[in-house]
Amino acid sequence: VLASAEYEYKERKDPSIYVTFQLKESDTKRLFSHFNGTVSLVVWTTTPWTLPLNQAVLIKPHAHYVLVDLKGKLCIVGAEVADLLCNHLNVGKLLLAEFTAEHLSGLSVLHPFIDKEVPLLFDDSVGVNEGTAFVHCAPGCGPSDYEIGVKNNLEIYSPISAHGLYTELIEPKELAGMPVSEGQWWVIKKLDAVGSLLYKGTIRHSYPHCWRCHNGLIFRATPQWFFNLEHNGIRQRVLSVLEELTFIPTQGKNFLRATVESRWEWCLSRQRAWGCPIPAVLCGECDYAYLDVELIEHVARGIAQEGIEYWNNVNVKDLSTPSTCPKCKGTSFRKETDIIDVWFESGVSHYAVLRDNPDLAFPASLYLEGIDQYRAWFQSSLITSIAIEGKPCTTAFMSHGYTVDEKGQKMSKSLGNVVTPQEIIKQVGTDGLRLWVSSIGNDKDPVASSILLRNVAEVHRKIRNTCRFLLSNLYDFDREKDAVAPDAMLALDRYALTQLSELNEKIIAAYTDTLDFTTVFHVLAEYCTTDLSSFYLDIVKDRLYCDGASSHSRRSTQTALWYILDTLTRLIAPILSFTAEQVSDHYQKNKAVSIHLQPFIEPEALRDFAYGTETTTLFTQSNPSIPLQSALELSLQQKAYKTQWETLKALRSVMLKALEEKREEGLIKHSLESSLSVHIHQQKPEFNELSSLFSHIEQQGQSLEEFFKEFLIVSQFMLVDTPEGLHPSIDPGIMIRVEHASGVKCPRCWHWSETTNSFFLDKRCEAIVQNI
């Protein structure tokens, strides 16, 4: 016996047949007296082997049905599907009558090849847009039919053996001992012989298969132990608490609700050679099952002392059992050999684990598993916790997809496409494996492809190289002695801290609010590649390599680098665990605890540090000691500051484009060989708003010419008041002239300048060299 979680749906080819169930002659005369001949219902099925087990035909309440002439046979089908059936038979539709389902209320129909009548039952599960709008019901051959059978008090008739053979109880008797796979074709031939096979074709459809051997399944009803989910309203109570829980992704709630809504009982027993026993005894005469609290506790004590083998070893006479059977008064008993469903065992893990461990708490913070566990562990855990504790076992459920290969196929040993974690680790390392997992949304199937792994390896390399660059430029920096206060830092360094603050907020929110590791992956990659490598770190290399070792400009940059490294290391720690530990070992002097025991930088504290919220000095050029008036004012000022820098970076792109054009013309080979003259039209609103930022840059100790030289990585720069002699750029608000820089190239910093130094050093490098 397989649990519902242990079978999977795959496409396969099956017979598709239309079968007639004849109305009784008396009913035909009463309902269709204007027509001569017999009248039949038409039923569609893809499992002909179940027809010998048929106990009813189902009809959709209030639906419309028609009586049609099909090759001389009077047949009743759903009005919505009559044309489809006529197309299958390649005949025109001859409509004789139309009526609602209630016209057929209370009828019984004749089984096609067994001498018996079966009832026509109303059921809302019948579809009217496929098949015939009539459904054959065999309660012993499927869970849905079983539920309908129980609801309508039908016989749960299932003469199928564990080996998939019809038993001696089958009708017709010639099927006894025949495999149902052969019975499939026997039934089709029999239907054809008795004139009840209206049409035979084939269909490719989704069908349940065993998850281990991958063969198609046969459903049969057997005596089992059940958990009645309607008892004490457990099912409804489970459904009601779903609104209180967090689901990641959010559609998980719908998966779990659909699973629970369609389940009114839970089969708890399994037929296995070994497992957790069901501690019941069965009467040797009538199979009456005896189970009570005293017996359960007796067996539980035995298992606690001797292990699960206790049940196999104990003599039934040594158990707490009655002397006679309560039903037949028999005196012989045997132990139940069925075991408990493993999903019930795993489902009560919250009771077994959380209650007995003082370091844990009930409910759990998170249940994490694959997407298939909504109908397995997630469901069983929630049901048992409601039954035992009266409340959910967790506050959140999180699911992920299945690992698939490059073609999108689920990995399977039988297909030979399994990629093990060890193989991935060989390619990208342990941290690379974790980064690969984080790169894929938890609502998607992880793809183990060589291309994706190469991309992940590249991101990992970029993050490691960024950390390596930061570390290599902090070798002579002691934060306690050398750090520059935020309000004294150069403007670009201060801006780098505001970008860091934004990164910190985004990633912490992704970790803690939504558990969105994919956002963490992409935001980290974008930050290290664009904000740091291609922008900030590229610009400040000149300061780090060429300014005086203890100069204010270099210490300002190193201060920013330290905070970037410290914040970044903490942020990557949950994913790049080993990398973060190694990095922190290098920059944290006298490190007391692992990076994994250190908290993230508090977002509000870093934001205040970066923007200097104690005063308005970052945003205005006058009255620097005036306190901020409100959080709204602060937010607006921060947005304005960010917008100003975005505008300034857009200007940079325009100017770099002009440099690139001159490089292509051969005027320059490197940006440091260039001299720029630039005029910015202040009439453009976005450019006019830059005035406060320009003032801030100058207040922090740089002239605009020096700032733009560094910002553009050029040797000479001049802001001019008029556009005369300048050339249009790709932005109509900016006029530019690019020339080769005058003077000579400094051999130390590569900047060009007019100099009288015999070694061609520029003024900055000459002063530094003289002090060595």
Report how far Cα 99 is from the mean position of its chain's Cα atoms. Answer: 48
Q: Which residues of the chain have pLDDT under 70?
A: 1, 3-5, 613-633
pLDDT at 685: 72
| 684 CB neighbour count, 10 Å cutoff | 15
Distance CA 140, CA 158 (A): 4
Same fold, 430-612 and 648-770: yes
Condensed to tens digits (0 to 9), the pLDDT of residues 529-583 reads 999 999 999 999 999 999 999 999 999 999 999 999 999 999 999 999 999 999 9
Cβ proximity of 368 and 404 under 8 Å: no
Distance CA 465, CA 528 (A): 9
pTM given for the model:
0.70
Condensed to tens digits (0 to 9), the pLDDT of residues 385-429 reads 999 999 999 999 999 988 888 888 888 777 788 888 898 898 899
Secondary structure (DSSP) of 12-24: EEEEEEEEEEEEP
| 23 CB neighbour count, 10 Å cutoff | 24
**490, burial (CB in 10 Å: exposed 0-12, middle 13-18, buried 19+):** buried
Cβ proximity of 596 and 533 under 8 Å: no
Strands 339-340 vs 269-270: parallel, antiparallel or unpaired = antiparallel
Condensed to tens digits (0 to 9), the pLDDT of residues 666-720 reads 999 999 999 999 999 877 777 777 888 899 899 988 999 999 999 999 999 999 9
Residue 311, token pair as written in the block: 């049940």
Q: Classify 226-400 by CATH class.
A: alpha beta
- Looking at domain 648-770, does it have CATH number 1.10.730.20? yes
Distance CA 451, CA 378 (A): 34
Distance CA 222, CA 270 (A): 11
Beta-bridged to residue 398, according to DSSP, are 248, 368
Which residues have C-beta within 8 Å of that of residue 477, sequence separation ≥ 6?
555, 558, 559, 561, 562
| 266 CB neighbour count, 10 Å cutoff | 22
Question: Dihedrals φ, ψ of 651, to 5°?
Answer: -60, -40
pLDDT at 633: 67
| 493 CB neighbour count, 10 Å cutoff | 25
3-state DSSP: the chain helix, strand, coil percent, rounded to 5? 45, 20, 35
- For residue 530, what is the DSSP state? I
Nearest 5°: the CA angle 331, 335, 339 is: 155
Task: Identify whether 249 is preceded by a cis peptide bond (ω within 30 of 0).
Answer: yes
pLDDT at 615: 38
pLDDT at 626: 38
Q: Which CATH superfamily is domain 4-210 in?
A: Valyl/Leucyl/Isoleucyl-tRNA synthetase, editing domain (3.90.740.10)
Q: Write the CA distances from 569 to 493, 576, 581, 582, integer angstroms.
A: 19, 9, 8, 10
pLDDT at 3: 63
Which residues have C-beta within 8 Å of that of residue 340, sequence separation ≥ 6?
268, 269, 270, 275, 276, 277, 278
Give Rg (Cα) of the chain: 39
pLDDT at 41: 97
Residue ranges covered by each domain of the chain = 4-210, 226-400, 430-612, 648-770
Q: Closest Cα to residue 467, out of 575, 571, 583? A: 583
pLDDT at 617: 36
Which residues have C-beta within 8 Å of that of residue 600, sequence separation ≥ 6?
504, 508, 511, 570, 571
Amino acid at 207: Y
Question: Dihedrals φ, ψ of 235, to 5°?
Answer: -60, -45
pLDDT at 631: 62
pLDDT at 639: 86
Out of 1.10.510.10, 3.40.30.10, 3.40.50.1860, 1.10.730.20, which CATH number does the structure's domain 430-612 have?
1.10.730.20
